[in-house]
């Protein structure tokens, strides 16, 4: 499946919100994504297949000083397990390297085995636990990739 990664625009936001709502119990709002498009250190990318203009997934990252922080990544349920998440994350890591970052960080729910598997595939290390970060009983694992 030929997928390319490009920067999101305003026109992608409804689809991004749709994917977000299918992915998370407390989804970001349209306004939250719109704000990311205005922040100079933020980048919101989408994965798009050759034959369909509707994004299949998105990733939002901040690049501040030497650190790239992945804030949000999700793939539409119909397109999971086809390598879309890996393409989005791989592009972000390559960009971070090119821009001279030395660390990529993120938080993931302890119960989210799919995402933890994705990050481990890229050699992220599980560094520490933030207890109840996502609410009662929902711990976050802080993961880091040294570039």
With contacts defined by CB under 6 A, name the span among 29-37, 76-84, 93-101, 128-136 that binds ligand COA.
76-84
Find the shortest distance in angstroms from Cβ 78 to ligand COA: 10
User: What does the DSSP 8-state code read for residue 101?
Assistant: -
Selecting among 36, 56, 119, 134, the annotated active-site residue is 119
Tokens of 127: 């560094």
Q: Are 137 and 117 a contacting pair, CB within 8 Å?
A: no
Q: Is 75 an interacting residue with respect to ligand COA (CB under 6 A)?
A: yes
Binding mask 14-53 for ligand COA (x = CB under 6 A): ---------x------------------------------
State how far the Cα of 41 lies from the Cα of 70, in Å rounded to an integer.
Answer: 12
Q: How far is the CB of 31 from ligand COA (least distance, A)?
A: 20
Is 55 one of the binding residues for ligand COA (CB under 6 A)? no
Between strands 67-75 and 103-109, the pairing is parallel
**Rounded to an integer, what distance in angstroms lies between the CA atom of residue 116 and that of residue 102?**
21
As annotated, the active-site residues are 107, 119
């Amino acid at each position: 499946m030929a997928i390319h990664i490009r920067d999101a625009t305003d026109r992608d936001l409804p689809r991004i919100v749709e994917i977000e709502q299918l992915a998370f119990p407390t989804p970001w709002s349209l306004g939250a994504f719109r704000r990311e498009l205005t922040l100079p250190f933020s980048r919101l990318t989408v994965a798009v297949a050759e034959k369909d203009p509707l994004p299949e997934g998105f990733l939002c990252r901040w690049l501040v000083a030497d650190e790239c922080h992945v804030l949000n990544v999700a793939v539409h349920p119909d397109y999971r397990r086809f390598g879309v998440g890996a393409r989005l994350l791989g592009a972000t890591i390559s960009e971070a390297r090119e821009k001279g970052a030395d660390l990529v960080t993120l938080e993931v729910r302890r119960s989210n085995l799919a995402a933890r598997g994705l990050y481990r595939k890229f050699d992220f290390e599980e560094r520490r636990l933030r207890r109840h970060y996502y609410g009662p009983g929902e711990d976050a694992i802080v993961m880091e990739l040294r570039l």
